[in-house]
Amino acid sequence: MASSTYARDPAKVRWGLRTIVVAYVVLLVAWPTGLVFQNAFADGVGPVVDALKDPEIAHALQLTAIITVIAVVINLVFGLTISILLVRYDFFGKRVLSALIDVPLSISPVVVGLALVLVYNGRDGWFGPTLESWGLQVIFATPGMVMATVFVALPLVIREVVPVLEEIGDDQEQAARSLGANAVQTLRRITLPGIKWAVVYGVVLSLARSLGEFGAVKIVSGNIAGQSQTATLSVEETYQNFQQGTSYALAALLAFAAMACLVVVSVLRPKEHN
Amino acid sequence: MSITISGVNKKFGDFVALDNVSVDLPTGQLTALLGPSGGGKSTLLRIIAGLEDADSGTVTIEGNEATHLPPQKRNVGFVFQHYAAFKHMSVAKNVAFGLEIRKRSKAETEKRVAELLELVHLSQFAHRLPAQLSGGQRQRMALARALAVEPTVLLLDEPFGALDAKVRKELREWLRRLHDEVQVTTVFVTHDQEEALEVADEIVVINDGRVEQVGTPDQLYDAPESEFVMSFLGPVTKLSGRLVRPHDIEVYTAPEDPRGKPGRITRLLRVGFEVRLIVELDEPEHPDVEVTVTRATQRHLHLEDGLRVWVAPTSGVRAISPVRVASG
How many angstroms away from the CA of A82 is the closest CA of chain B? 23
CB contact under 8 A, B101 and A185: yes
Q: Would you call B97 and A179 a contact, using CB atoms and an 8 Å cutoff?
A: yes
Measured between CA atoms, the residue of chain B closest to residue A273 is B88
- Best mutation target among A171, A179, A191 (most B Cβ atoms within 10 Å) is A179
Instruction: Check CB contact under 8 Å for B77 and A178.
Output: yes
DSSP code, position B133:
S
Using CA atoms, how far apart are residues A227 and A220, in angstroms rounded to an integer? 13
Contacts of B50 (CB under 8 A, 6+ apart): A177, A178, B66, B69, B70, B71, B73, B74, B76
In this complex, the residue of B74, B78, B131 whose CB is nearest that of residue A175 is B78
Give the mean model confidence (pLDDT) for residues A92-110.
90
Cα gap A157→A101, rounded to integer Å: 11
**For position B10, what pLDDT does the model report?**
94
Closest CA to B75 of B97, B48, B96: B48
Nearest CA in chain B to A170: B84
H helix intervals, chain A: 2-7, 11-25, 31-40, 45-53, 55-88, 94-101, 103-106, 109-120, 128-133, 142-168, 171-178, 183-186, 192-194, 196-212, 215-221, 231-240, 244-268
What is the spatial distance between Cα B54 and Cα A28, in angstroms, rounded to a whole number? 59
Using a 10 angstrom Cβ sphere, with 0-12 exposed, 13-18 middle and 19 or more buried, the burial of residue B161 is middle
Residue A127 phi/psi, 5° resolution?
Answer: -105, -20
3-class secondary structure per residue, B253-309: CCCCCCCCEEEEEEEEEEECCEEEEEEEECCCCCCCEEEEEEHHHHHHHCCCCCCEE
| In the predicted structure, residue A3 carries a pLDDT above the cut 80 | no
List residues in chain A touching B: CB distance below 8 A.
Answer: 168, 171-172, 174-182, 185, 189-190, 193-194, 196, 272, 274
- CA-CA distance, B110 to B94, in Å (whole number)? 12
pLDDT of residue A43: 84
pLDDT band of A273, cuts 50, 70, 90: very low
Q: Residue B149: which of A179, A185, A272 has the nearest Cβ?
A: A179
What mean pLDDT is predicted for residues A177-193? 93
Distance from CA of A196 to the nearest CA of B (A): 10
* Shortest alpha-carbon distance between residue B56 and chain A (Å): 21
Are A206 and A224 in contact by the 8 Å Cβ rule? The answer is no
Comparing CA positions, the residue from B44, B59, B25 lying closest to residue B184 is B25
Residue A73: per-residue pLDDT: 97
User: Which pLDDT belongs to residue B317?
Assistant: 58
Sequential DSSP letters for A30-97: IHHHHHHHHHHTTT-HHHHHHHHHSHHHHHHHHHHHHHHHHHHHHHHHHHHHHHHHHHH---TTHHHH
CB B23 within 8 A of CB B204: yes
Q: What is the pairing mode between strands B308-313 and B249-252?
A: antiparallel
Is the CB of B97 less than 8 angstroms away from the CB of A189? yes
The Cα of B181 is separated from the nearest Cα of chain A by a number of Å equal to 22
Residue of A nearest to B150 (CA): A179
What was the pLDDT predicted at B318? 46
Tell me how far apart the alpha carbons of residues A55 and A224 are, in angstroms, rounded to a whole number: 13
CB B191, CB B19: distance < 8 Å:
no
Inter-chain touch A179–B72, beta carbons under 8 Å: yes
Nearest chain A alpha carbon to B48: A178
Nearest CA in chain A to B95: A179
Amino acid of residue B255: P
Shortest Cα–Cα distance, A244 to chain B (Å):
50
Enumerate the residues of chain B whose CB falls inside 8 A of the CB of residue A179: 72, 77, 97-98, 101, 145-146, 148-149
Yes or no: say if A149 and A67 are a contact pair by the CB < 8 Å rule: yes
Q: Helix, strand, or coil here: B1?
A: coil
CA distance A18 to chain B (A): 35
Of B75, B97, B148, nearest to A176 by CB-CB distance is B97
Residues A183/A210, Cβ–Cβ less than 8 Å: no
Which of B88, B95, B155, B157 is most worth mutating to test chain A (most A CB atoms within 10 A of its CB)?
B88
Q: Can you spell out the DSSP letters for B219-263?
A: HHHHS-SSHHHHHHHS--EEETTEEE-GGGEEEESSS-STT-EEE
- Number of other CB atoms surrounding residue B136 within 10 Å: 18
Contact A148, A228 (CB under 8 A): no
Q: Quote the CA–CA distance of B184 and B323 in Å, as a whole number.
A: 36
Task: Mark yes or no for CB contact B86/A172 under 8 Å.
Answer: yes
Determine the residue of chain A that is closest to B153 in CA distance: A178
Quick one: pLDDT band at residue A5, thresholds 50, 70, 90?
low
The strand pair at B261-271 and B308-313 is best described as antiparallel
Closest B-chain CA to A186: B101
Q: How high does pLDDT run on average in chain B?
A: 89
Please report the pLDDT score of residue A124 as a whole number: 80
Which residues in chain B have Cβ-Cβ distances shorter than 8 Å to A172? 84-87
Complex ipTM tops 0.90: no
- What is the number of residues in chain B? 328
- Under DSSP, the state recorded for B125 is G
Among chain A residues, CA nearest to B49: A178
| Average per-residue pLDDT for chain A | 88
Task: Check pLDDT > 80 for residue A17.
Answer: yes
Q: In this predicted structure, which of A33-47, A150-164, B202-216 has the lowest mean pLDDT?
A: A33-47
> To the nearest whole angstrom, how far is the Cα of A195 from the nearest Cα of chain B?
10
DSSP A23: H
Instruction: Give the per-residue pLDDT at B278.
Output: 93
- Residue type present at position B61: I
What's residue A174's pLDDT? 92
- Phi then psi dihedrals of residue A233, to 5 deg: -65, -35
Rounded to 10 degrees, the C-alpha dihedral A56/A57/A60/A61 comes to -140
The reported pLDDT for the residue numbered B322 is 46
The pLDDT value recorded for residue A253 is 92
Q: How far is CA A219 from CA A136, A198, A238, in A?
A: 18, 32, 18
A178, A185, A188, A199: which to substitute to probe chain B, counting the most B Cβ within 10 Å? A178
Residue A243 pLDDT > 90: no
What are the angstrom distances between the C-alpha of A239 and each of A38, A243, A246, B59, B271? 16, 6, 8, 73, 85
How far apart are the C-alpha atoms of B3 and B7, rounded to whole Å? 13
For residue A180, list chain B residues with Cβ-Cβ distance below 8 A. 72, 75, 98, 101-102, 149
pLDDT above 70 (res A2): no
The pLDDT assigned to B320 comes to 44
B84 and A171 within 8 Å at the Cβ level: the answer is: yes
State the average pLDDT over residues A178-193.
Answer: 93
Segments of chain B scoring below 50 in pLDDT? 318-328
Contacts A185 to B, Cβ<8 Å: 101
